[in-house]
Amino acid sequence: MRLRVVLEAARAFPAVVLTGPRQAGKTWLLRHLLPTASYHLLEDPDVVARLRSDPHGFLDQQNIVLQAGFPDPGEAVVELMGA
């Protein structure tokens, strides 16, 4: 079952990327599989400011889920790649 694959990946790796088209149920899936996770939208200027000021501290939080919008979610946090 694919749900188990997502859960196993979340336990085994510090980061997991879940991609798909808009309205496909990505957020719903993650909220049901990881109900205690902390969700952050990368469109929120406060979240982006916290990431820029202390990327390691922000990402060191346990069970964090970052959500980025389309068309290019990576564009919003390209600075994190060097973090």
Cα 51 from Cα 42, distance rounded (Å): 9
pLDDT for residue 3: 82
pLDDT digit string, tens, across residues 42-80? 778 898 898 889 888 887 876 677 666 654 555 555 555
pLDDT for residue 1: 54
Average pLDDT over residues 29-42: 84
Q: Which residues pair with 64 in a beta bridge?
A: 38
Which of the pair, 82 or 29, is modelled with greater confidence?
A: 29
Mean pLDDT, rounded, of the chain: 77
Average pLDDT over residues 19-34: 84
Closest to 59 in 3D by CA, of 36, 77, 45? 77
DSSP 4-52: HHHHHHHHH-S-------TTSSHHHHHHHH-TTPEEEETT-HHHHHHHH
Give the phi and the psi of residue 51 in degrees, each rounded to 5: -65, -40
pLDDT for residue 82: 55
- Residues with Cβ within 8 Å of 35's Cβ and at least 6 positions away in sequence, in order, are none
